[in-house]
Amino acid sequence: MKTTAHLIAALTAATLLAACGNNPPVPDWQMNAQSSIERSTAAYMSGNARVEAAEYQRARAALASTGKVDLMIRAELIRCAARVASLVFEDCAGYDKLSQDATPADRAYAAYLSGRASAADIALLPPQHQPVAAGISTTQAITDPLSKLVASGVLLRAGKATPQVLSDAVDTASAQGWRRPLLAWLGVQAMRAEKSGDTAEAQRIKRRIDLISEKP
């Protein structure tokens, strides 16, 4: 999944999957970790918890074989980012266990995901997230789908998500076929419509939620 590869690249100068060409063959652990993280993230976004857990354990096993704590930390951050993108605001427990060995950039990203990024953290964040961390309430300039949803989740967590942010998040999740975040963002839209007294809009959104929730 392209979005996961982009996030890994943003968090570390050396991606899990090395370039091809005249370079030495890519070690099995890199290919296994990369593909398992991609499948794990895709499964989570689709709402398949069983596959997500199984694939993530495969990724952890591949990364653990190297003893590289920095890569394990970034894998945990990717997992937490998928949850923020889906509006699951919980402690990043896997990262917390390893945080004493995290780099300043990793700490900044973890703080950003938790809604506690400081002014000093902003310059250490991936470029696409810096405006949001600085207080700008828009995600329209972010082209990577996962990054857009993560930034949208951060804004919602901070109480700064505008109707346009919600609309963009819904459209992004829908375009990717990501059931879990789509249902979460539609739920927020429905709640806001109800609070504003727009019953017709709230009912329209709920019909869409029912359609998505139907079992085949």
Query: Residue 123: inside a domain, yes or no?
Result: yes
Total domains present in the chain:
1
Q: State yes or no: pLDDT of 14 exceeds 90.
A: no
The mean pLDDT of 174-194, rounded to a whole number, is 97
- Give pLDDT, residue 27: 79
Query: Residue 82: inside a domain, yes or no?
Result: yes
The mean pLDDT of 180-199, rounded to a whole number, is 96
- Give pLDDT, residue 166: 97
User: DSSP characters for 11-55?
Assistant: H-SS-SS---SSSPPPPHHHHHHHHHHHHHHHHHHHT-HHHHHHH
d(CA 179, CA 25) in angstroms, rounded, equals 36
Looking at residue 91, its amino acid is D
Domain of 113, in residue numbers: 30-213
Query: Residue 12: inside a domain, yes or no?
Result: no
> Is residue 60 within 8 Å of residue 29, measured between CB atoms?
no
The mean pLDDT of 132-136, rounded to a whole number, is 90
Q: Can you give the pTM of this predicted structure?
A: 0.87
Query: Residue 47: inside a domain, yes or no?
Result: yes
- Give pLDDT, residue 17: 36
Query: Residue 93: inside a domain, yes or no?
Result: yes
Query: Residue 144: inside a domain, yes or no?
Result: yes
The single-letter DSSP state of residue 21 is S
The mean pLDDT of 45-62, rounded to a whole number, is 94
Q: At what angle do helices 69-85 and 2-11 cross, to 10 degrees?
A: 130
Query: Residue 8: inside a domain, yes or no?
Result: no
Query: Residue 180: inside a domain, yes or no?
Result: yes
